[in-house]
Amino acid sequence: MQNPSRSEIKEILDRSRTIAVVGLSPNPERTSYGVSEAMQSAGYRIIPVNPMADEILGETSYPSLSDLPEVPDIVNVFRRSEFLPALAEEFLETDSPVFWTQLGVEDGDVRRRLEQAGRRVIMDRCIKVEHALVK
């Protein structure tokens, strides 16, 4: 099992409008903040998922995926690989079609489970870098 091709990633990014970012930090020095800010500047609506923050990047932050008021087009994960099994379970309770993890974050069992459930999975790729490559 592998990541979608660049052309498939382009299609995903072209049809997506909202990105829920799990583990988005309110600290501008953190990678999650910079990547999310860049995607927001590119026209995507960012929905922060961080139980320790009320607002990030001018958007209301939610404690978990199950608390989101809408279904995001992409769930982008900035948590360590060890958290992926629990996040995948929560993700499967949503109707979000794409589960995306940042560089260095991957789990083969989680990938297989989500793909078997009919979801698109992109792991160990930076969404900001991929966006720049396909635009």
Q: What is the rounded distance in angstroms from the CA atom of residue 29 to the CA atom of residue 20?
A: 19
Question: Residue 28's domain spans which residues?
Answer: 6-134
> What is the pLDDT at residue 135?
83
Q: For position 14, which CATH number holds?
A: 3.40.50.720
pLDDT at 67: 98
Q: Hey, what amino acid is at 44?
A: Y
Look at residue 18 and tell me if it is in a domain. Answer: yes
**What pLDDT was estimated at residue 62?**
98
Query: How many Å apart are CA 48 and CA 108, to the nearest integer?
Result: 25
Rounded CA-CA distance 103/99 in Å is 13
E strand spans, the chain:
18-22, 45-49, 55-56, 59-60, 74-77, 98-101, 120-122
pLDDT tens digits for 48-60? 999 999 999 999 9
Interval 109-134: pLDDT, tens? 999 999 999 999 999 999 999 999 99
In a domain, 40, yes or no: yes
**Domain tally for the chain?**
1
In a domain, 115, yes or no: yes
List the one residue out of 29, 30, 75, 27 whose CA is nearest residue 49.
75
Answer yes or no: is 1 within a domain: no
The fraction of the chain above a pLDDT of 90, given in percent, is: 99
Res 1: pLDDT = 66
